[in-house]
Structure 1
Amino acid sequence: MEVPYLGARSLDVGGGKLMPAAGALFKESFLSRPRYQNGSLKLMPRKSSASVWIYRWRETDEHGERQLRKQVIGTVTQYPTKALASSAIESLRLTINQQGFQRMAGPKTFSDLVNHYRSKELPEENHQRKTRKTKKNYEGNLKNHILPRWGSFRLRDIRSVDVEEWLDRVSLAPSSRAKLRNVMSTVFRHGIRWEWLGQHENPIAMVRVSSKRTRIPETLTVEEFLALLGKLPDRERAMGVVCATTGLRISETLGLKWGDIDFQTGKANVLRSVVDGAVGRCKTEVSQQPVPLDDLVLAELQTWRTITMYSSDTDWVFASDHAFGKMPVWAVSSLQKILQPVAKRAGITKRIGWHIFRHTYSSMLSEYGDDVKVVQELMRHAKINTTMEIYTHARMEKKRQAQSKVVDVLFGRERTMV
């Protein structure tokens, strides 16, 4: 139903009057309301075969324009009467209207789409799809960078070139800019999955951004590692030893309980991670693989177990005294209050974080390890490439040998040649 052009006249609505501007708004609102459409069904002749039933309807395309659509329902042989053909399109008609209503009720601005994405993909109580740390990073990128710039934009007004130019101006490291791009793309894909956008309506798919590091990650020399270790208190010393000789992320190290350490077979079962006081799953499925523990590391852990007040199998290995052992120590608190001040007193000028132990371990494995696949599995990276991941498996003993070489170098241990 078309609303006539009002010109300078007012419009009667329910006994009242609307001025021209209001009338225009009324027209837009009236026309944009979702309406149930029956469509039309016609029998169309065919020269080379029996006549066919054609069903026609209108739908809004990706540009917001109304387009005529049609679909062949069947031949007159299959459906001799219009009533039978009408019955055959009931399911199709219902689907078309449901999709239409869904599109009409969908988000209009990027901020609206982000809010829906948050409610479905980032709920606080659900950690099945994404870990707590990943959710925290997503929220930080959305709140601090993406929404202030793009939140008020209508979805189809966001253009690839504009986003690319914006990312070039953002004062962040290349890897951080790449993460902004990926988060925006994820939100658009969410809109596509909910059928508010067409399959090819992700403008971020064409955005180019480099994620190449601007500097090589810092690692510790053997001298720096020993100087730092010698000044750390017992708990942080044990944490440093585990991180530097297993490659565990700090969240996975804090997630260890004494029952996860198998002192007989010399390995640790990595079952969980702890981020900001919240217990969750590990970063990836590969991250949950057990890691070997060198004899020297096992001895270090045994020594710490005799010192700590929380030493039963169900206790956290690196329990927090402030939480009375109910939770492990917070990584950030331990870093800022202990690790960084100790590193400064030890004369280490590098940027110190718990992850520097993982980088040191990775660097030494590359230098002293003799099998790329062994290095990959010790680091518990997802894959080198699909072929190696599927067909190549490093044995525990071979991983132990490569790991022990790193321990030998770090602690100056000499082995007797057999």
Structure 2
Amino acid sequence: MARKTYQEGSLEYKGGTWTLRYRTRDGEGSWVKRREYLDCQNERDALRKQRQRMVEINAQNNGARARSVPTFSEFVTGLWRKTMENKKASKKPSTLYGYDSLLKVHLLPRFGKKRLDEISPSDLSELLAEKGEKYAARTVRNLYNLLKGVFQIAKELDLIESVPVRPKLHRPACPRTSKPRLTAEEIRRLFALVDERWQVMLVVLAVTSRRAGEILGFQWRDFSEREATLDVMRSVWRGRVVDVKTEASRVRLHVPDVVVEALRSHRINSEFRGAEDFIFCREDGQACDPDHLRRYVLYPALDRAGIRRGDRTHGFHLFRHSGGRLLYELTRDVKAVQDYLAHAQIGTTADIYVEMPEEVGREATERIAEALNLETLNFPLTVPLESERIQ
């Protein structure tokens, strides 16, 4: 059932005239303040007419509300879509693509014909519980976040009075899982077994630990052989040039001499050497699709190297996790890893990319024991009772 609104109105007597103030909904469902003058003989008459008039106003508002609130399908394909397009500068194309996929597969079949104000917290509980039995925790979490965002925008547009998403009730638990990583030896093995055409790309990816889209977005104008640098200026998604993920991602990278030489050789052997040509491109010089390279370049190399890969766990991001872990093992410095990976928030580095190796825990306990000078103690230790202490 749609939630009904009710108001008593505000009665005011001024200058010998009774005025009734209230609000009505317009054709778009937004609130509009109104006032009208009542022809009354006295206060009692004014109160009677106020009650009569507000019965009419409340009936009008609830009737208009029922007609003006769009269905879930109408909203996400209309006002919500326009809002997302206006925010496009802050939303990656891959994020919008993910929203569309979640809507098409999970939400529109369930809620498409329902009005927004008819979707209740219990409806969302049933949906999320059902999806939790069939899909990964990450998918359920993405559904929760999308639903919360959709209904929050609907509330800000005054289409609904409250958001049916309840964090304490609906936010899914996402157990932390260990991310797969490659050892230095496994990465070296991949260099030798990957298709020769993509060896330099894999080397740059492994050394810089950048996102695959950013590696494929490199153009020759971004590479300075003299300065030994690469400028991260753009990314590639599904063969399209897009902006980098965050402003923190827009950095200048130092390139080791061995990688500079590899890039110089790659340029000599490439048909596309112009300043605006992509360093790593398709045979026609156009931008590559990271997903295509994952399926037809990376996966075969992993298989040839005898590296077992899980379902959707061994994409190019594997090198980013591996690079972060390798650097942490070398430095024990989370801040250095954050800067290396160009994370905007150090929490992302610490919580996801840097999993404490077992030897770090050993080192920590050994150092604490050393600081406490435990080697000088003889066990078992005893503490004299109060009565045994020398007065």
Under a length normalisation based on structure 2, what TM-score does the superposition of the two structures give? Answer: 0.69
Are residues 196 and 342 of structure 1, via their aligned partners in 2, closer, same or farther at CA, if it must alter by over 3 Å? same
Instruction: Give the Å deviation of 1:104.
Output: 7.1
Give the whole-Å Cα distance in 2 for the aligned partners of 1:176 and 1:138. Answer: 11
Indicate the structure with greater helix content.
2
Match of 1:180 among 143, 167, 177: 143
In the other structure, the counterpart of 2:116 is 155
Identity, in percent, stands at 29
CA distance in 2, matches of 1:285, 1:295: 27
Distance in structure 1 (CA, Å) of the matches to 2:200 and 2:158 = 52
Question: Is 2:279 aligned against 1:317?
Answer: yes
Q: Is the 8 A contact 1:319 1:328 kept in 2?
A: yes
1:8-19 residue pairs with structure 2 within 5 A? none
Do 1:317 and 1:328's aligned partners in 2 also have CA atoms closer than 8 Å?
A: no
Question: Helix, strand or coil for the counterpart of 1:186?
Answer: helix
Query: What does 1:21-40 correspond to in 2, within 5 Å?
Result: none
The verdict on how the C-alpha distance between 1:126 and 1:162 changes in structure 2, with shifts beyond 3 A counting, is: closer
**1:202–1:384 distance in 2 versus 1, CA, 3 Å:** farther
Distance 1:60 1:223, change over 3 A: same
Query: After superposition, what is the alpha-carbon deviation per residue over 1:90-114, rounded to whole angstroms, capped at 9, x for unaligned?
Result: xxxxxxxxx9999677442211111
Q: CA deviation at 1:299?
A: 2.2
- How many Å apart are 1:126 and its aligned residue? 8.2
Which residue is 1:16 aligned to?
none
Q: What RMSD in Å do the two structures reach over aligned CA positions?
A: 3.5
Amino acid at match of 1:187: V
1:289 alignment counterpart: 251
Question: Does 249-258 or 216-225 show the bigger shift?
Answer: 216-225
Letter in 1 for 2:302: A
For these two proteins, the number of residue pairs brought into alignment is 308
CA distance in 2, matches of 1:229, 1:343: 10
**Which whole-Å deviations, capped at 9, do the CAs of 1:294-335 have from their partners, x for residues lacking one?**
2222222222212211122211011110xx21x222222222
Q: Structure 1: any 5+ residue segments left out of the alignment?
A: 1-39, 72-98, 387-418
SS across alignment from 1:187: helix
What do residues 335-360 of structure 1 show as CA deviations (whole Å, max 9, x unaligned)? Answer: 22222112212211123321111111
Q: Hey, what does 2:180 align to over in structure 1?
A: 218
Listed one character per residue, the Cα deviations across residues 371-405 of structure 1 (whole Å, up to 9, x for unaligned) are 3222112112221269xxxxxxxxxxxxxxxxxxx
Structure 1 residues 342 and 43: CA distance shift in structure 2, 3 A: closer
Does 2:231 correspond to 1:269? yes
Secondary structure of 1:339's match?
helix
Residue type of the alignment partner of 1:284: T
Q: Distance in 1 between matches of 2:69 and 2:24?
A: 18
In structure 1, C-alpha distance between the alignment counterparts of 2:10 and 2:87, rounded to whole Å: 47
Quote how far apart the aligned CAs of 1:250 are: 0.8
Please, which runs of 5 or more residues in structure 2 have no aligned partner? 1-8, 36-60, 349-391
Within-5 A mapping of 1:184-195 = 184-195=147-158
CA contact (8 A) 2:236 2:288 kept: no
Q: Please tell me the residue identity of whatever aligns with 1:57.
A: Y
Paired with 2:79 and 2:63, the residues of 1 have a C-alpha distance of 19
Indicate conservation of the 8 Å contact 2:278/2:287, yes or no.
yes
Change (3 A) 1:197 1:300: same
Task: Look up the equivalent residue of 2:247 and give its one-letter code.
Answer: E
Q: Deviations over 1:259-310 (max 9, x none)?
A: 1112222322111111111111111121122232222222222222122111
Q: Is the 8 A contact 2:182 2:319 kept in 1?
A: yes
Secondary structure of residue in 2 paired with 1:274: strand
CA offsets, 1:190-209, max 9 Å, x none? Answer: 212322123x4343545221
Q: In structure 1, give the amino acid aligned to 2:270.
A: T
2:90 to 109, 123, 129: 129
Matched, 1:196 2:196: no
Paired position in structure 1 for 2:21: 56
- For the residue of structure 2 that corresponds to 1:203, the secondary structure is coil
State the Cα deviation string for residues 37-89 of structure 1 (Å, max 9, x = none).
xxx996526xxxx999855124369xx9xx99889xxxxxxxxxxxxxxxxxx
Equivalent residues of 1:58, 1:69 under 8 A apart:
yes
Q: Which of 267, 272, 288 is the aligned partner of 1:305?
A: 267
> Are residues 1:350 and 2:350 paired?
no
> Quick check: 1:44 aligned with 2:17?
no
Distance 1:51 1:176 in 2: 64
Q: How do residues 205-244 of structure 1 correspond to structure 2 at under 5 angstroms? A: 205-206=167-168, 207-213=170-176, 215-244=177-206
* Secondary structure at the counterpart of residue 207 of structure 2: helix
Seen in structure 2, the aligned counterparts of structure 1 residues 356 and 102 have a Cα distance that, compared at 3 Å, is farther
Kindly provide the amino acid, as one letter, of the partner of residue 149 in structure 1.
R
CA gap 1:290/1:176 in 2 versus in 1, 3 angstroms? farther
**Closer, same or farther in 2 for the Cα pair 1:140/1:225, shift >3 Å?**
same
Distance 2:288 2:11 in 1: 73
- TM superposition shift of 1:218: 1.1
Per-residue deviation, residues 141-193 of structure 1 (Å, max 9, x unmatched): 11111212222222122222432342233122212211111111111122123
Match of 1:328 among 287, 303, 311: 287
1:339 equivalent in structure 2:
298
C-alpha distance in 1 between matches for 2:63 and 2:268: 66
Output the amino acid matched with 1:273: S
Partners of 1:266 and 1:293 within 8 A in 2: yes
Is 2:218 the counterpart of 1:249? no
- Contact 1:175–1:210 (8 Å) recurs in 2: no
